[in-house]
Chains A and B, each alone.
Chain A
Amino acid sequence: MDQAARSVTHEGKAAPLLATQGLTKRFGALTACDHITWDISHGEVHALLGENGAGKSTLVKMLYGALAPDEGGILWEGRPVAIGSPAEARRLGIGMVFQHFSLFEALSVAENIALALPPRGRRELAETIRKVSREYGLPLDPDAGIADLSVGERQRVEIVRCLLQEPRLIIMDEPTSVLTPQESEILFVTLRRLASEGVAILYITHRLSEVLALAGRATILRRGKLVATADPRVESAKSLARMMIGADVAGIERPGRPEAHLRPRLVLGKLSQPPDGAFSTALADIDLTVSAGEVVGIAGVAGNGQGEFFDALSGEKLLPRADMIVIDGVAVGRQGVNDRRRLGAAFVPEERIGHGAVPALRLSENVVLTRHATDGDIARGLVVHRAAARAIEERVGERFDVRRSGADPRASALSGGNLQKFMVGREIDRNPGILVVNQPTWGVDAGAARTIRQALVDLARSGSAVLMISQDLDEIFEVADRVAVLSGGRLSPLYPAETMTSDQIGLLMGGVHHDHDGAAPVPAQPAEPRHELRHAP
């Protein structure tokens, strides 16, 4: 094709910047991306929507050169290209900001950025970093060590690293999952500015409110297929959600919260814990009461002590004083996890693989993992009774709709959503008086998320106390009766959920941003009114 034809289609419109045709990728029997034909133009902010497992990450990895497609092709400015490696993608002008950052902890900001660029002088690079980062409202100190930066600041490094390569297309994978509402606003300002400069932005998310606020076009993937392309300006959250999931979003059933004067089951009194090493968060003076029949939601952005809080609650880290945690009237701060379980407490940690479950072991063995101390059938005396464990595994699988191929598979064979259902079900099956769960539905598809959230509410209403730590504000509003915010290891007071807005929560999250030119810390910006997502009752 000649020069003119390359940039203009036969309809006379400018050719899109990037287009895919029938792009397909399979992993064994699973078709992660099924003949996707799609495009994005200069200066367009395009959202890629879909629930967990829909194929968004896979599609994007092919665009970025990290995966090779099995079928189909990619066109860049109308020309077919083969993107064989991230370096080639970068050469074309495609930049990527990863969801789970690809940063090097032991190196400095400048060294991290240098690795993504062709070699250039150190001083020159440092100056450029300072200049560009300031220009886009994301100031950075080139000599800072990555290990010392907060999560939001690390994302800045990713973005600035991307910007310095002068990309024509920037792909962002769930960028706001680690940001406070205020930090997200700052990011949106940056993105709008880039779009106005002609940079195309492909924005992957499952947060509908952001799509409505930011995108000019939205493409929706479901189970690997492209099911719709929509204009967010005329759609609503509900219609987008329906396209994402394929049916009307069923909310969970939430019978009314019981009134006050119900028995407190989990009481935290001035719970404090010094940090464990240089990179952990200290917990300070946490007061909290969770009563029978209610779900308490602890909101907060990653990195504010959620993991440490969970470990203190579960007993994996003992507390300085016994009375810092009282379970059904018993002070257990100095006692370990199984003692707390024997009192009727149950725990579901954030990490499935390697913490909540052992991947190489079978599900029945994973039942033994958390229940050997409390279930006499499973471990009487010294011997493990496999049959009893298997019976529990089957029961949990049935009740919580854990999809597995074959009986009693290894935990590694389950998808994220199914393993999460198993882990939650394993604990709820014990009818615990208290359930503490950290990030109940991260990385889980909408169907499984619904099952899990409903189970949490049902458990609470049957008389248990449920404490849920979650970074997903939508989830908090959907499930919790009362809400508090964990920020920097400290807990805010509790508020009834219906009286809170996400802006108020955002402010409680704090968020003092350091201005890296050495000036005094700048308080968080007040948020603009945002769409609120509510499911149908």
Chain B
Amino acid sequence: MLEAIILTVITAATPLLLAAIGELVVERSGVLNLGVEGMMVMGAVAGFALTNTTGSTLLGIAGGLVAGALVSLVFAFVTQTLVANQVASGLALTLFGLGLSGLLGESFVGTPGIKLPSLDIPGLSDLPFVGPILFGQDILVYVSFALVAFVSWMLFRTRAGLIIRAVGDNHGSAHALGYPVILVRYLTILFGGACAGLGGAYLSVAYTPLWVENMTSGRGWIALALVVFASWIPYRVAIGAYLFGLVSILQLHAQPLGLGVPSQFLSMLPYLVTILVLVIISLNRRTTRLNSPACLGRPFVPDR
């Protein structure tokens, strides 16, 4: 029973983790991309479509990654090259992504999907209890953890990460020192888009292998909240994602547990908890102020 719960928590948390870790990098460079929901759902539809037409889940996942990145490119162009308002542009990206994915996915509604297989490490996966949990996951789960480790190392131990953080802190100074602020932001936005696309692809290829319109159901927004919750620190994103995974699958397991709460209220839990978490985090102003990138959301126009 516990094993089943843990397994479902992992699958619920992974798409959140993938999308959030990508957005963390974007925000560290000073850009607020509210279009995560749109990028995720594009990744979901692309992942499903490609998996179904080629028969390969790996190609599907790759397709999701590419779809997310391509869509984020539009956002990057509008906000960095054209310097449009980031909040409105992010909303536009979400609405556009939701609409486009609905359009592209129309012919796939009702089609059964192919599930991303779990890794089967001979010997290790067969260990009781620990086996399936630690060694029997599909590849994206391991990728999500690898990404957290990679981002953490990259941001704080490499020069590239230092430049990203500098750009997010004071893009004027970074520009004065000769760093290509706009190029850096294009790259982080693409990275964020790719991660969101991966997260979306996970939903339609690993979580529940099917396509339903708007199947992300607000996970993109929760991912944005997770970045704030984590105070822009990578390993905390993982903690947050798993906490949310726990909350969101409660509705699945509440019935066998005999709780008399209507299913709609249980479904409300992730959203209500998100609000609660955001409030708690905003109470701790000092940590937020120290870690939140000072230029977050502010437009950058270099003078020449």
Determine the chain A residues whose CB is within 8 A of the CB of B172 once the complex forms: 102
Q: Which listed residue (A86, A90, A104, A119) contacts B166, Cβ 8 A? A: A104
> Quick check: B304 and A116 within 8 Å, CB to CB?
no
> Quick check: B304 and A104 within 8 Å, CB to CB?
no
> Quick check: B169 and A115 within 8 Å, CB to CB?
no
> Quick check: B285 and A277 within 8 Å, CB to CB?
yes
Minimum Cβ distance to chain A for residue B19 (Å): 24
Q: Which of A20-71 contact B (CB under 8 A)?
A: 65-68
Q: Give the interface residue-count category, chain B.
A: 20 to 34
Stretch at the interface among B62-70, B118-126, B206-214, B288-296: B288-296
Q: Which of B148-185 contact A (CB under 8 A)?
A: 159, 162-163, 165-166, 168-170, 172-174, 176-179
Given that A106-B290, A107-B166 are contacting pairs, would A85 and B304 also be in contact in the complex, using a CB cutoff of 8 Å? no
Q: Give the interface residue-count category, chain A.
A: 20 to 34
A278 at the binding interface (Cβ < 8 Å): yes
**Best-buried of A107, A115, A119, A147 by chain B (most CB within 10 Å):** A115
A114 at the binding interface (Cβ < 8 Å): yes
Given that A68-B304, A86-B178, A277-B289 are contacting pairs, would A107 and B169 also be in contact in the complex, using a CB cutoff of 8 Å? yes
> Quick check: B173 and A103 within 8 Å, CB to CB?
yes
> Quick check: A85 and B294 within 8 Å, CB to CB?
no
Q: Which of A142-190 contact B (CB under 8 A)?
A: 147
Determine the chain A residues whose CB is within 8 A of the CB of B177 once the complex forms: 86, 102, 115-116
> Quick check: B286 and A104 within 8 Å, CB to CB?
no
> Quick check: A102 and B176 within 8 Å, CB to CB?
yes
Minimum Cβ distance to chain B for residue A57 (Å): 12
> Quick check: B176 and A107 within 8 Å, CB to CB?
no
User: Once the chains are docked, how many angstroms separate the CA of A459 from the CA of B177?
Assistant: 46
Given that A85-B178, A277-B285 are contacting pairs, would A106 and B165 also be in contact in the complex, using a CB cutoff of 8 Å? yes
A294 at the binding interface (Cβ < 8 Å): no
Instruction: Scan A471-514; emit 1 where CB is below 8 A from any B CB, else 0.
Output: 00000000000000000000000000000000000000000000
Given that A86-B177, A102-B176, A104-B170 are contacting pairs, would A114 and B162 also be in contact in the complex, using a CB cutoff of 8 Å? yes
Minimum Cβ distance to chain B for residue A363 (Å): 25
A136 at the binding interface (Cβ < 8 Å): no
A105 at the binding interface (Cβ < 8 Å): yes
Given that A86-B178, A115-B163 are contacting pairs, would A104 and B293 also be in contact in the complex, using a CB cutoff of 8 Å? no
User: Once the chains are docked, how many angstroms separate the CA of A115 from the CA of B291?
Assistant: 19
**Chain B residue nearest to A106 in the complex (CB):** B169
Determine the chain A residues whose CB is within 8 A of the CB of B176 once the complex forms: 66, 86, 98, 102
Given that A107-B165, A278-B289 are contacting pairs, would A102 and B170 also be in contact in the complex, using a CB cutoff of 8 Å? yes
A111 at the binding interface (Cβ < 8 Å): yes
Minimum Cβ distance to chain A for residue B287 (Å): 10
Q: Which of A76-130 contact B (CB under 8 A)?
A: 85-87, 90, 98, 101-107, 111, 114-116, 119
**Chain A residue nearest to B173 in the complex (CB):** A102
> Quick check: B162 and A115 within 8 Å, CB to CB?
yes
> Quick check: B159 and A119 within 8 Å, CB to CB?
yes
Minimum Cβ distance to chain B for residue A170 (Å): 16
Determine the chain A residues whose CB is within 8 A of the CB of B174 once the complex forms: 104, 115
> Quick check: A87 and B178 within 8 Å, CB to CB?
yes
User: Once the chains are docked, how many angstroms separate the CA of A85 from the CA of B291?
Assistant: 30
**Chain A residue nearest to B168 in the complex (CB):** A106
> Quick check: A105 and B294 within 8 Å, CB to CB?
yes
**Best-buried of A87, A102, A104 by chain B (most CB within 10 Å):** A104
Determine the chain A residues whose CB is within 8 A of the CB of B169 once the complex forms: 104-107
> Quick check: B165 and A67 within 8 Å, CB to CB?
no
**Chain A residue nearest to B28 in the complex (CB):** A106
Minimum Cβ distance to chain B for residue A468 (Å): 30
Determine the chain B residues whose CB is within 8 A of the CB of A67 once the complex forms: 303-304
Instruction: Scan A260-278; emit 1 where CB is below 8 A from any B CB, else 0.
Output: 0000000000000000011
Please give 10 more A-B residue pairs, beta carbons under 8 A apart, in addition to A101-B173, A105-B170.
A65-B178, A67-B303, A87-B178, A102-B172, A104-B170, A104-B174, A105-B294, A106-B293, A106-B294, A115-B163
Nearest 10 interchain pairs by C-beta: A102-B173, A87-B178, A86-B178, A104-B169, A106-B169, A102-B176, A104-B166, A85-B178, A104-B170, A119-B159
- 5 of the cross-chain contacts (CB-CB < 8 Å) are A101-B173, A104-B166, A107-B165, A115-B179, A278-B289
